[in-house]
Amino acid sequence: MLPIGGPGAAITPRQQGQRLLELLGRPPRFKQVPVALLDGIIGRLALAGRLWPPLTAKAELARIGRYYATESMRVLNPQTGR
């Protein structure tokens, strides 16, 4: 894992979205959904994929989306604690 980034502090996905919307001159509107909703979608797509195989790929894409939505992408330097 490589610590890639700039000299400033890390920003959250919400902060990224807020900055992009500020640049576009649009008001921020965010919605949060429970992770269980993603789990339900993944389960239903996987089950439906048994009947219609193209949905299996959609289930895998949803699994990837869930991973990136729930895992931290920050890197901690154990020597500096930053």
In a domain, 77, yes or no: yes
Q: Is residue 3 domain-resident?
A: no
Which is more confidently placed, 74 or 16?
16
2 has pLDDT over 60: no
Asked, for residue 4, whether it belongs to a domain, the answer is no
- In the chain, how many domains are there? 1
pTM of the entire predicted model: 0.63
The phi-psi region of residue 57 (left if phi > 0; otherwise alpha if psi is between -120 and 50; otherwise beta) is: alpha
**Residues found in the chain:** 82
For a pLDDT cut of 70, what percent of the chain falls above it?
84
- Cα 63 to Cα 1, 33, 40, 66: the distances in Å are 21, 15, 11, 5
Give the pLDDT band (50/70/90) at residue 32: confident
Contact 28, 12 (CB under 8 A): no
